[in-house]
Amino acid sequence: MTNTVESLFDTGLERYKAGEAVDSLIPVFKEVCDRAPKTSAAWICLAWLYLLDDKGNSAYKAAQKAVKLSPQDPQARVNLALAMLETGQKGLRQHIDAVQQLFLVNPEWRDEIKNSIEDGLTRKPEWDSLLKVQKWLFEE
């Protein structure tokens, strides 16, 4: 029996939350993206996993797709800003500004992004790019 894209995605998320290694989850989310290429949540997760696995260029490509599919998703923008930092790209300030604007639209997103950043720093404590983004979003 083949897994539905939804069940594959949900299982991947559960495995991530349970602390499974990032490198074993990347193929799961790549498959979801291959099978459902217009699912922004899958691209957002894949970009995040690539970032955690120090694969900046892959993260950049996945994050670009996520933002294109869902420009109003703050996590997609955060991931793209992180990938841009990791790969030395210019123009990431617009994504930080966009996230701050999105916080005004929906204040709950602020907590979601804070939790996401905390999760990232738990998994990768010395993540300089994430510390910078955290500072830009919450200390300015």
Write out pLDDT tens, residues 1-49: 467 999 999 999 999 999 999 999 999 999 999 999 999 999 999 999 9
pLDDT of residue 2: 60
Residue 123's nearest CA partner among 30, 18, 14, 13 is 18
Q: Is residue 14 packed enough to be buried (19+ CB in 10 Å), middle (13-18) or exposed (0-12)?
A: exposed
pTM of the model: 0.94
- Do the beta carbons of residue 40 and residue 29 sit within 8 Å? no
Type of residue found at 107: P
Query: Which tens digits make up the pLDDT trace of 43-56?
Result: 999 999 999 999 99
- Do the beta carbons of residue 12 and residue 29 sit within 8 Å? yes
Q: What percent of the chain has pLDDT over 90?
A: 96
Going by pLDDT thresholds of 50, 70 and 90, the confidence category of residue 140 is: low
Residues 6 or more apart whose Cβ sits within 8 Å of residue 107: none
